[in-house]
Structure 1
Amino acid sequence: MRIAIIGAVLIACGIAAAAGGVLPVEAVEALALRSAPILGFVVAMTVVAELAAEAGVFRAIAHRLAVLARGRVIVLWLLVVVLATAATVFLSLDTTAVLLTPVVVAVAAHARFSPIPFALTTVWLANTGSLLLPVSNLTNLLAAERLGVHPGDFAALMWAPALVAVLVPVILLFVLRRRELLARYEPEAPIPVRDRPLFAIAASVLVALVPLLVSGIPVWIPATAAAAVLLVVFAVRRPAVLRPALVPWQLVVFVCGLFLAMQAAHELGLTGALGIAAGTGESPVELLRLAGVAAVSGNAIDNLPAYLALEPFAESPVRTAALLVGVNAGVLITPWASLATLLWHQRLVSMGVEISWGRFAALGLVVAPLTVGLATLALAVTAG
């Protein structure tokens, strides 16, 4: 509810700025045309992910992985790394942080081994793993729309930093938690699927949706179609699941408020200092400079407004990629740096798993600079 209140306040400020002539009507119209398809995609994908989770798709996958690992925590963890990365890349970071985290943590708890490495894996990879495709992160959608690139071209630009941004936190997590990860456990039998036809349809929709999201079709179209199919199926088989909370209206209000606030800030010239700090050019040093400023800004004010504030100073595709490395892979220190992180922590607390923000920040101070630095250098090498 707090983010909705903040968003409503920002929207009110934006309206006041427009009424006072600070924010031109033309700028507001252009912002609306740009943001409407993106927000439509976010809403549709949230509905798809929530309904797929209700159908038991993610739970079934996680329990199947637990069986495949045959009692070896390290094997299960590596399988979860693959699953979390795939979920982030194709279904967005929120799917991983919000829906996958409780599932893998529950598997760990039932098998009686520490859930902490699995919890950290999901939240770190939800953020650092969200570089490869436009659909992986809202910041990517904004960047891809601005650059006008096909998902394949976006992936061709981002593949090296995306790979490094996954490998660095995984390696560090193994080093830090290797004793727990090298343990063994007794696998439990998978939980039976409650409604097999519903499960089959939800799984089929996800399988069909993934290639459509990278086909070049505007992503809101297949996402909306998938959401419509699942809504109809659930209306027939489990109508009680359909509730207003499926729509992330608080997030939409918050994002709309941020869009208006940052547009007004640009019009007033308030982001100029960030432009000076971000520098210019595409040399490795300049890309590291931009990515570093982006990471610091993201941890200070949240990654989405940080992206919006720095976007005008990322004049080329390569500089835009460096900006994304900073605001996606670098926001691992403060709780508010990524909305997905806040939602992740909320889910953990509800399951009785405690990770203090102090410890989270301390670990983030190690993994974030290394991830951003190495991923940016990978970008400089492959894009140069």
Structure 2
Amino acid sequence: MLNTVVAGVVSAVALLSVLAFAVARPRRLPEAVAAVPAAALVVVIGAVPPGRAWTQVRELLPVVLFLAAVLVLAQLCDDEGLFTAAGDLMAGTCRGRPERLLGGVFAVAALVTAVLSLDATVVLLTPVVFATAARAGTRPRPHVYACTHLANSASLLLPVSNLTNLLAFSATGLTFARFAGLMALPWLAAIAVEYAVFRWFFRADLAAWATPAEPAGRPRLPVFTLVVLALTLCGFALVSLAGHNPAWAALAGVLVLSGRALARRRTSVRELAGAANPLFCLFVLALGVVVKGVTDNGLGAVARHVLPGGSSLPALLAVTAVAAVLANLINNLPAVLVLVPLLASGGPGPVLAALIGVNLGPNLTYVGSLATLLWRRVLHERDAEPALGDFTRLGLIAVPATLAAATVALWVMLKVFGG
């Protein structure tokens, strides 16, 4: 067995290697290809004893199963034409005015992110927005950039909106509805600030008019899918209020939509299994073990020393800043795994502040969030690789402003309604 310093160094190198592999994805290999051997390594060298590794996996498993259910739910909604209908609706209401389209994209992306998670916004909505901008005759840049920023910024509202929220949800000690209630004002504040920044930053693109294509006609809304989605969302709150895992509500929604899709032969069991992305779920479990090795052998002590105590406004702002920096250094998933155990004893306030940091902070760099990396791949496939300079300049303006606005809003909610 190695001493603590060496174990910490090996674990840190393993973590950075896994993240570098996730960024590069050579030959499009799944992230689990690097994460599983790295997890095995930290267990073999004693950085994480087998018992603690198993405990970490067992604690993460319900969250990962919930993630898989939400991924399948989002894919079923896409198969039913929900995202296409959203694109038709946005194109029909913008009437050749780019700023109207931007407002529509913000509204749709915020709702999709909140209800179906940020992955749905990046992977399923971004291509629709790209095509909608072309049909509307507007420059696509502001609208597709809005998808990645809102995939992060609009993921504050519900525990299901982001994997980071799911990982931290139980530590907050809140019900589903209480979580949403406290995060509603920070969610709105972050979106409002993002919109103001986008209107200014992309003012030249939004001022450029073009002749829109002929409208596709009145959008066909998948009413059955929308009803099931609304009932599933209500189920999240009711199941959580009863003290059960919200994953049961997600599973119920999946069973209803998948049963209908299978009966109509619009999908197959194999396609549903693929939508659950089991290799990514395995990656999250393995990553949790690797992060445990880093946390237990040095990083946890450093973070504990840096993090302030209490739920005062300065303390919450400091937690948010630390979380944002850590997310951009080691990615937001490892960051939340490091921070939540250290903050849980302080009540929900510090944990929610950390979520603001790890959710909004990644808009500063490509590596801060896996969703941003997925967004880059979506644009690369369409020969529209985003410019690093534009992305960074936009982040330097938007991230500090959204972090401050959302954290102040959280402090207000905690003062008014209590933690």
Global fold match (TM > 0.5): yes
In structure 1, C-alpha distance between the alignment counterparts of 2:172 and 2:189, rounded to whole Å: 23
8 Å contact kept, 1:105–1:118: yes
Q: Which residue of 1 aligns with 2:233?
A: 210
Task: Describe the SS at the equivalent of 1:129.
Answer: helix
Amino acid at match of 2:385: E
Measure the CA separation in 2 of the matches of 1:224 and 1:11.
Answer: 29
Per-residue deviation, 1:200:
5.0
Secondary structure of the structure 2 residue equivalent to 1:135: coil
Q: CA-to-partner distance for each residue in 1:328-348, whole Å, 9 max, x for gaps? A: 011112212111111111111
The separation in 1 between residues aligned to 2:380 and 2:319, in whole angstroms, is 35
CA distance in 2, matches of 1:301, 1:269: 15
State the aligned residue count: 378
Aligned to 2:85: 60
Q: Give a deviation string over 1:76-131, Cα, whole Å, max 9, x none.
A: 22122111111111111111111111101111022321111111111101101111
User: Match of 2:246?
Assistant: 219
Match of 2:177 among 135, 152, 161: 152
Identify the residue that residue 319 of structure 1 maps to in structure 2.
Answer: 350
Query: Residue 3 of structure 2 corresponds to which residue in structure 1?
Result: none
Residue in structure 2 matching 1:35, options 32, 37, 60: 60
Q: Which residue of the partner structure matches residue 106 of structure 1?
A: 131
Further displaced range: 261-270 or 69-78 = 261-270
> Are the counterparts in 1 of residues 113 and 119 from structure 2 also a CA contact under 8 Å?
yes
Distance in 2 (CA, whole Å) between partners of 1:304 and 1:239 is 31
SS in 1 for 2:64: helix
Asked if the contact 2:91–2:215 (Cα under 8 Å) also holds between the matched residues in 1, the reply is no
In 2, the alpha carbon distance for the partners of 1:122 and 1:382 equals 27
Q: CA 1:268–1:149 in structure 2 vs 1: closer, same or farther (change >3 Å)? A: same
Instruction: Show the counterpart of 1:189.
Output: 215
CA contact (8 A) 1:66 1:187 kept: no
Aligned to 2:9: none
Partner SS for 2:390: helix
Following the alignment from structure 2 to structure 1, what is the Cα–Cα distance between the partners of residues 320 and 300?
16
Q: What is the deviation of 1:69?
A: 2.7
Give structure 1 regions of 4+ aligned residues with deviation exceeding 4 angstroms: 182-185
Matches within 5 A, 1:288-299: 288-299=317-328
Work out whether residues 60 and 191 of structure 1, in 8 Å CA contact, stay in contact via their aligned partners in 2. Answer: no
Contact 2:61 2:285 in 1 (8 A): no
Over 3 Å counting, the alpha-carbon distance change for 1:249 and 1:188 in structure 2 is farther
Contact 1:77/1:118 (<8 A) preserved: yes
Does 1:97 pair with 2:122? Answer: yes
**RMSD of the alignment, in Å?**
2.4
1:382 equivalent in structure 2: 413
In the alignment, structure 2 segments of 5+ residues that lack a partner are 1-28
Please tell me the residue identity of whatever aligns with 2:63: I
1:4 aligns with 2:35: no
For 1:264, the equivalent position in structure 2 comes to 293
Partners of 1:151 and 1:176 lie apart in 2 by 35
| CA shift in 2, pair 1:68/1:22, >3 Å | closer
The alpha-carbon deviation at position 182 of structure 1 amounts to 4.2
Q: 1:113 to 1:12 in 2, by over 3 A?
A: same
Q: 2:404 aligns with which of 369, 373, 380?
A: 373
The range that moved more, 294-303 or 244-253, is: 244-253
| 1:286 and 2:315 correspond | yes
Q: Calculate the TM-score normalised by the size of structure 1.
A: 0.90
Deviations 1:221-272 (A, max 9, x none): 1211222233333333224694353221232122111211222333334321
1:175 maps to 200
Name the CA distance, whole Å, in 1 between partners of 2:69 and 2:185.
29
Q: Which residue of 2 aligns with 1:343?
A: 374
- Measure, in 2, the Cα distance between the counterparts of 1:158 and 1:274: 24
Q: What aligned pairs does 1:42-81 form with structure 2 within 5 A after superposition?
A: 42-81=67-106
- SS in structure 2 of the partner of residue 134 of structure 1: coil
| Distance in 1 separating the partners of 2:204 and 2:317 | 34
- % identical equivalent positions: 35
2:22 equivalent in structure 1: none
Residue 359 of structure 1 is matched in structure 2 by 390
CA contact (8 A) 2:53 2:289 kept: yes
TM-score (norm 2): 0.83
How far does residue 155 in structure 1 lie from its aligned partner after superposition? 2.0
Partner of 1:247: 276
1:11-65 per-residue CA deviation (whole Å, 9 max, x = no partner) reads 3235425xx484251x344433422221111111111111221222111121122
Deviation at 1:285, TM superposition (A): 1.9
Of 241-250 and 280-289, more deviation after overlay is shown by 241-250
Does 1:166 pair with 2:197? no
Higher mean displacement: 330-339 or 296-305: 330-339
Q: What secondary structure does 1:84 align onto?
A: helix
Aligned match for 1:23, one of 49, 56, 59: 49
The residue that corresponds to 1:303 in the other structure is 332
